[in-house]
Amino acid sequence: MADAVPLIVVVTGLSGAGRSTALRVLEDLSFDCIDNLPTPLIEQAVALSSGTGSVLRMGIGMDVRVRAMLEGAGAVIDALRAHKHRVSVIFLDAADEALVRRYSESRRPHPLAAQHPGEDLAALITRERERLADLRARADRVIDTSALTVHDLRRLLIEHFTLAEGATLRMSTRVLSFGFKYGIPADADLVFDARFLPNPHFVPALRPRSGKDPAVAEFVLDTVEGREFIDAIETMLTPLLPRYAREGKVALTVAIGCTGGRHRSVAITEALAVRLSKLRAPGDVRAAHRDIDRGG
């Protein structure tokens, strides 16, 4: 680890071309990211972060908001390379028409508008291009986002960094039990209803226990309905999980609900998490129970 060469990715480009999206992709790929830091402080920040050897990937956002200090950006990049860092410069560009349309849709002012009152958006974009010309010339890759959606850009960047820079994007899958009477989890991506299964709530000996108890789990799972239900979910998710990951999804929540969220959904969640763990990397799947302590 201490002998590895730190990778510094400078993300720059025109405002509205997707720089913020690119930085979020880097964060999802476990880069430590700093946005819009004044150029005189960049070398110091990199030295502090990578000096211990614990930070080997950094993302640095750099745009026209640093104003006069932007002129020193090229020298900073040269200095980082001179200190044996691997430095990659990604420049996000777009046609003027696309940028004007995006500003119109977002209704946000251009970063240079306050400095040049009265100038129209086209003139401000031209000024920005001129100020960023040196950084564009130093870029290892220029990406034209004119015809790209946010999702297209995200997929392209993930492919670039995973293939060219050896970064990895791991999707975490949370299997979450819940009770319908307390509401469906707001962050659920997929929701399954287990209320048709035999209910341990109506068995006096099982009612005080949760779905984590072996006797309750057996009551729920050792039935034709229980086996078919969990088999069906596993069959559906087996091809879907890698597709969600390839899309660039960072976290997936699979919610299993029963009436109170204490018995059936908990038993199914625990068993399903074990099965899905065999399909994913270690630690990428975990079980969670939202309403297990509410009394069913």
Q: What is the pLDDT of residues 205-250, one digit of tens each?
A: 999 999 999 999 999 999 999 999 999 999 999 999 988 887 777 7
Q: Specify the 3-state DSSP secondary structure of 16.
A: coil
Decide if pLDDT at 170 tops 80.
no
pTM: 0.65
**What whole-number percentage of the chain has pLDDT above 90?**
53
For 7-164, give the CATH class: alpha beta
Task: Give whole-number Cα distances, 106 to 16, 102, 146, 233, in Å.
Answer: 9, 6, 16, 40
- The answer to whether the beta carbons of residues 176 and 272 sit under 8 Å apart is no
Whole-number pLDDT of residue 28: 87
Mean pLDDT over 160-173 rounds to 72
Average pLDDT, stretch 196-212? 95
Query: Which of 72, 152, 65 minimizes the C-alpha distance to 113?
Result: 65
Binned at pLDDT 50, 70 and 90, residue 1 comes out as: very low
φ, ψ of residue 269 to 5 degrees: the values are -60, -45
E strands, the chain, where? 7-13, 32-35, 57-62, 86-93, 141-144, 172-179, 190-193, 251-258, 285-289
C-alpha dihedral (284, 287, 291, 294), degrees to nearest 10: -140
Structure-block tokens of residue 196? 């048709």
Nearest of 109, 81, 71 to residue 8 by alpha carbon = 81
**16: Cα within 13 Å, side-chain hemisphere:** 27
Q: Tell which wins on pLDDT, 245 or 60.
A: 60
CATH 3.40.50.300 domain range(s) in the chain: 7-164
Confidence of residue 193 (pLDDT cuts 50, 70, 90): very high
Q: In what order do the strands lie in the sheet with 190-193?
A: 190-193, 251-258, 172-179, 285-289
Helix (H, G, I), strand (E, B) or coil at 79: helix
- Name the band, by pLDDT with cuts 50, 70 and 90, for residue 107: confident
- Work out the pLDDT band at 268, boundaries 50, 70, 90: very high
